[in-house]
Structure 1
Amino acid sequence: MTDSPTPAARALCDGRVVVVTGAGRGLGRAHALAFAAEGARVVVNDLGVALDGAGASLSPAEEVVAEIRAGGGEAVAHGGDIATTEGAASLVTAALDAFGRLDTLVNNAGFLRDRMLVNLDEDDWDAVMRVHLKGHFLPLRHAAAHWRAEAKAGRRPDARVVNTSSGAGLLGSVGQGNYSAAKAGILGLTLVAAAELAGYGVQVNAIAPAARTRMTEQAFATTMAAPDAPGAFDTMAPENVSPLVVWLGSAASAGVTGRVFEAEGGRITVMDGWRPGPTADLSARWTPTAAGEATRKLLAVAEPPLPAYGAR
């Protein structure tokens, strides 16, 4: 009598179809490759723009698709502008046409146009808001519509959304008023989506990653630099963030929704968000002077805020 062979361990995302936006480089590329390594079929979206959002090319997305296929995985490229209704809708269609389903959406696309507030042009504000905040909303809106239709048809999904915020959205970042505001908006969008979509079988979370990408390696060159010592742990490698994203995008994360996580190197932190602190209640209308006196007393016992990145 011979022993039966031990079945191969099932990969975390076997059978799942995952869309990753901004997946041609940096964090998005790392996420796409990590999902594929765990058995997911991946739609690799990237507009192929420069760091400031100029230009367009499908090459970055196609290169990631080729890398996934070379490793035995399945992937397709999508070069649509996900900050447009047409582009976001076609992103969902691409997943359905190629693989027949959609299970996970990772919103990651973005670029920078950094300026101090007194030098920040309206166009630079609008452009960053468009790609980060609108570029999260539209794919989420179209994916959610698909999942709602599935749920109403009796095919309740086990769907996941992972949004990408930033420490700049949590604390602010000097010289990045547009980026910080957009990333803070993504946190609010995440909380609303988690509440609204729970009934359709959709979980929505956000990450605030710290990693070396085109957007950070120049602005924070010293912090983001790779280690010089051979074999040393590269704390800022974008691949360090992807394991959490893959888990959040998998069925294994059941019950986790409406949460924000910082991810950096080997560290994962659950962010608590805004919670009530010290309070004074007069049970009547304050005068300005009395309100000020009460507020001073409350601030004296409150936890001080963490400083914005780059603050002196």
Structure 2
Amino acid sequence: MRGIADGRAVIVTGAGRGLGRAHALAFAAEGAKVLVNDLGVGLDGAPGAGSPAGRVVDEIRRAGGEAVAHHGDIATDEGAASLVTTALETYGRLDALVNNAGFLRDRMLVNLGEDDWDTVVRVHLKGHFLPLRHAAAHWRAEAKAGRTPIARVVNTSSGAGLLGAVGQGNYSAAKAGVLALTLVAAEELGPYGVQVNAIAPAARTRMTERTFARTMATPGTGFDAMAPENVSPLVVWLGCAASAGVTGRVFEVEGGRITVMEGWRRGPSADGGVRRTPSEAGRTARELLKDAEVPTAVYGAGQRIREARS
């Protein structure tokens, strides 16, 4: 197999199913050697049966590619360290990290338990930070030794992280954190030859099958807009040398559409040069809001709230 990822060693977390599986297969099809990480848990994070990572590895090998499975918990320091160590011991190098692992525990805020919060934030946010930290330590050491890498990180956020989603306060907060982490990492790791970007994908997976269950292939084209394989080409490109110069960016990806997302920017502003009273601050705020853009609605606004009350 030869392609734009030829010879690169790539880690994909949560790669046993859905988007992660599609990413791993796409990298392998472009010539990459892939470490397929998956803990093999259910949608709620509880232990599951079988080895989805092993099945993806078998699939890649049957197609003539190179892959190895990793079953560690990447939201622990030990698991994240072994993730990077396994790639280096197996392939002698590490060129890209795709942080993808996650699951859901959706609740309205008044029903959202502390464990539901902690577990989702742990896997999505800590599960991005720890692999990134261990990979970055390796790349920094390489750069300091005069072997500056062409390294890439692709983080996975969500529309919920960009706009929020009713019933997903924990998931939305974690995915928003991934975006901020991406921006910081891009700036800090740039001098070591590392580019860091994020995607906010929309695709049919175990986590979204209810949302996208009715989406069908476009008549006459065979194109399924919600297939996870639609997201992977951009991920592969971001994980390769071809994406040189692209860092600190967030891309929304859905079907055949790719959108560069533009984050918080300063809008209308007023500086009176003195401390205001609360009433004066309120009047100023209301005047500024007249010229400000109306925020984009949170995903599920209205409908989910009506359902919760019914």
How far the C-alpha of 1:291 sits from its partner, in A, is 1.2
Evaluate the alpha carbon distance shift between residue 228 and residue 249 of structure 1 in structure 2; reply closer, same or farther with a 3 A threshold: closer
Secondary structure of the structure 2 residue equivalent to 1:207: strand
In the alignment, what sits opposite 2:288?
Answer: 298
**Cα-to-partner distance string for 1:18-43 (whole Å, 9 max, x where unaligned):** 00000000000000000001100000
Give the RMSD, CA atoms, in angstroms: 1.4
Kept after mapping to 2: 8 A contact 1:57/1:79: no
**Cα-to-partner distance string for 1:102-148 (whole Å, 9 max, x where unaligned):** 00000000000000000000001000011000000000000000101
Q: Hey, what's the Cα distance between the residues in 2 that align with 1:229 and 1:121? A: 43
Q: Hey, what's the Cα distance between the residues in 2 that align with 1:215 and 1:94? A: 28
In the alignment, what sits opposite 1:279?
Answer: 269
In the alignment, what sits opposite 2:227?
Answer: 237
Secondary structure of the structure 1 residue equivalent to 2:5: coil
In the alignment, what sits opposite 2:20?
Answer: 28
1:244-263 matches, within 5 Å, as 244-263=234-253
What is the TM-score when the length of structure 2 is the normalising length? 0.95
**Cα-to-partner distance string for 1:252-286 (whole Å, 9 max, x where unaligned):** 00010001000000000001100111111111111
**Cα-to-partner distance string for 1:148-192 (whole Å, 9 max, x where unaligned):** 111111111110000000000000000000000000000010011
In the alignment, what sits opposite 2:145?
Answer: 153
Q: Does 2:75 correspond to 1:83?
A: yes
Q: Hey, what's the Cα distance between the residues in 2 that align with 1:131 and 1:139? A: 11
Q: Hey, what's the Cα distance between the residues in 2 that align with 1:156 and 1:240? A: 32
In the alignment, what sits opposite 1:209?
Answer: 201
How far the C-alpha of 1:229 sits from its partner, in A, is 4.4
In the alignment, what sits opposite 1:125?
Answer: 117
Kept after mapping to 2: 8 A contact 1:111/1:128: yes
Q: Hey, what's the Cα distance between the residues in 2 that align with 1:21 and 1:57? A: 18
In the alignment, what sits opposite 1:200?
Answer: 192
Q: Which runs of 5+ in 1 are unaligned?
A: 1-7
In the alignment, what sits opposite 2:164?
Answer: 172
Q: Hey, what's the Cα distance between the residues in 2 that align with 1:247 and 1:159? A: 12
**One-letter code aligned to 1:189:** L
**One-letter code aligned to 1:172:** G
Moved over 4 A (4+): 228-231
Q: Hey, what's the Cα distance between the residues in 1 that align with 2:192 and 2:12? A: 21
What is the TM-score when the length of structure 1 is the normalising length? 0.94
How far the C-alpha of 1:290 sits from its partner, in A, is 1.4
In the alignment, what sits opposite 2:86?
Answer: 94
Percent identity (aligned) = 76
Secondary structure of the structure 2 residue equivalent to 1:263: strand
Q: Hey, what's the Cα distance between the residues in 2 that align with 1:58 and 1:296? A: 57
Secondary structure of the structure 2 residue equivalent to 1:255: coil
Kept after mapping to 2: 8 A contact 1:84/1:138: yes
Secondary structure of the structure 1 residue equivalent to 2:199: strand
1:191 to 177, 183, 186: 183
Q: Hey, what's the Cα distance between the residues in 1 that align with 2:259 and 2:206? A: 24
Q: Which runs of 5+ in 2 are unaligned?
A: 303-310
Evaluate the alpha carbon distance shift between residue 275 and residue 228 of structure 1 in structure 2; reply closer, same or farther with a 3 A threshold: closer
Secondary structure of the structure 2 residue equivalent to 1:184: helix
**Cα-to-partner distance string for 1:50-86 (whole Å, 9 max, x where unaligned):** 0000004561000100111111100000000000011
